[in-house]
Amino acid sequence: MSNLTRRAAFALAGLAATTPALNTPAAAATDIRMALKPFACNLDTWFMDTPFAGRFALAAKIGFTQVEFWPVRRAKNEESMDATKARALLDSNGLTLTQYAPAAPNFSDPANHDALTAMIREAIADSAILGCKAITLVGHHIVDGMSREAMLSGYTTGLMRIAPLLEQAGLTALIEPFNTVNHQGHLLNGSRPAVAMLHAVNSPMIKLQWDFYHMQLEDGDLIEKFTAAIDQVGYVQLGDVPGRHQPGTGEVNHVNLLKAIRAAGYKGPMGLEYYPLDNDYKRAVSDAMALSIAAGFA
């Protein structure tokens, strides 16, 4: 709290003690929304004790204007959801969807490229309903019996195959590398193989999902690597190490990091794909506001 301005401290004082809903004067609520404006709340990692459909309202009440989530199509035995239902929830809560992650086939294996094409066509239709211009695309599990070179070739070829569809639709696919510490069994880890691959694909609609949680675990040297690869960055996500909790709970200096992100030329939203420490959403919002103010965004 020591890093907050008096204006932000006033706004935070209105947060309810035991619930993420706001109970603030209009001016205080405006201050919260302004401080949270650079961020998109991830609805799959926040408010996990609430059914998915109810998380839209919680994100709006707490002060977010942008959200992201994983798949939009959810099975009935989990919780029925599709693009039309999600769009209604977004609109009724005044929210914008920055990106989401449709389930992708493992297209490191060329045998799955037809399934990849079908999934992209479905995502294009869903994205038009959602009013969303970006999807996260993974699908790079290790394939038993295939060499790394063959898998890299298969994944690259798959991206080249879907590039014309994405370009025609104006939809960006965000390729997300993981890490080998707690996301074993994946082809793309850290920035280097993914950056090289995207240079080879050379499509304006295929970029990197730069998740700093994964990059810290796999690469380190966060600012220099991000700055060097800024031409291939399409979206940014945050999460501290260790624990994948909010910035300020771990080892990364996120104030310096966010200043460097903007200095490198990235002007888009930053996804908060982390698990608020102890499910304390009041503290998570306080920490996000403090970061925004200290980094000069609010």
Respond yes or no: is residue 78 known to be catalytic: no
3-state class of 215 per DSSP? helix
Catalytic, out of 68, 218, 251, 273? 273
Catalytic, out of 176, 218, 224, 251? 176
Distance of CA 187 to the CA centre of its chain: 20
**Pairing state between β 134-137 and 206-211:** unpaired
Respond yes or no: is residue 273 known to be catalytic: yes
* 231 and 195 Cβ atoms separated by less than 8 Å: no
Q: Which two tokens stand for residue 79?
A: 């919780």
DSSP states along 246-293: -TTSSS--HHHHHHHHHHHT--S-EEE-S--GGG-HHHHHHHHHHHHH
C-alpha closest to that of 201 among 226, 172, 178: 172
Q: Phi, psi (5° rounding) for residue 160?
A: -65, -35
Q: How far apart (Å, rounded) are the C-alpha atoms in residues 142 and 184?
A: 9
Q: Which residues are catalytic?
A: 176, 273
